[in-house]
Chains A and B, each alone.
Chain A
Amino acid sequence: MFGRGLKFLSILTVVLVIGAFALVFFYAPNDADQGFVQKIFYLHVPLAIVALAGFVAGGVYGLRYLRSGDNAHDLRSYVAIHLSLILAVGALITGSIWARASWGHWWVWDEPTLVAFLIVFLLYACYQPLRFSIEDRERQARYAAVFAVVAGAFVPVNFMAVRFAQAAVTHPRVLDSSDSMPGEMALTFLLCLAAMALLFVTLWKYELASKHASIRLRQLRRQLAGDDDALLAVPRSAAPQEL
């Protein structure tokens, strides 16, 4: 059900990721101020952007689930948020490395984008505990969808509020610096962003297909089990269990 076009997508993703890596290390020039460590930027910013997009997509699918009741949307929402959370951890870690390289500390508070990201991460980290704590399947899906929508609305408000809280933006803005970013860096960055986005979509689809297969297997098992109770036990779980 979710696996259409997966083979093509995977090959394209592999090509793009390898291409992006190659560009980062062999093509893009070293930054004049920051040197080699600036290259973390090609990993950090795509991670952050795709993670945020994934969170918002989770909210969109949550909304679609609420309106249609189609469990497929709930599964999509769950997997999107789940994957984005992993990317968000990556963004925070690479952001910390960048902070260390640029300012000498592993964390800086005058960095509004990083701080706002931490807050968003803390919020979405509650998604799975929330799902796990509600046992009724349908209610779990519905409440998770509400959470996804509220959290999705929260993301832009949060970034705005945190940005306001900083007097001056000290984020090394490779894009907005007075001498505009050289073409090679721009191209490399765009390719990295495309590769990360494609990677996310591919992994998302793989996860969906895998979960879908497990769900159908469980349904089959239940059909075949009949009165054999040992096969019927469905363990409590945060992930959607039915389609």
Chain B
Amino acid sequence: MPALPLDDAGPYVAAAYLVFLALILVYVGIMAAKLQRIEREVSELADLAARRRPGTAAAPADDDDRTREPVESDVR
């Protein structure tokens, strides 16, 4: 275990690494929250679709997998 010095800037160095780690975790947290919101919106829209056109429930959410390939080759 490296001896953490108590000189002037030593604590700041350690703090910098910890802050860096913390920021990554915060970012992951934000992504997770966004993902939850997106999933909630998807289900809302699916309900909306089912109400407007009964019988087409949950259709939009699955398009992601099917449309991924053709679009990606265009983007390349």
A residues neighboring B (CB under 8 Å): 1, 3-4, 17, 21, 24-26, 30, 35-37, 39-40, 43, 70, 72, 90, 93-94, 97, 100-101, 104, 199, 203, 206, 210, 213-214, 217, 220-221, 224, 226
Inter-chain contact A213/B38, CB cutoff 8 Å: yes
Given contacts A25-B2, A43-B20, A210-B31, contact A37 B13 (CB under 8 A): yes
**Complex Cα spacing A97 to B18, Å:** 14
Inter-chain contact B9/A101, CB cutoff 8 Å: yes
**Complex Cα spacing A217 to B40, Å:** 11
14 additional A-B pairs beyond A30-B2, A36-B5, A37-B7, beta carbons within 8 Å, are A21-B21, A25-B2, A26-B1, A35-B5, A35-B10, A36-B2, A36-B4, A36-B10, A37-B9, A39-B17, A43-B16, A94-B16, A210-B35, A217-B38
Closest 3 CB pairs of A and B: A101-B9, A40-B13, A97-B12
Inter-chain contact B41/A101, CB cutoff 8 Å: no
B47 CB to closest chain A CB (Å) equals: 10
Residues of chain B lying within 8 A (CB to CB) of residue A206: 31
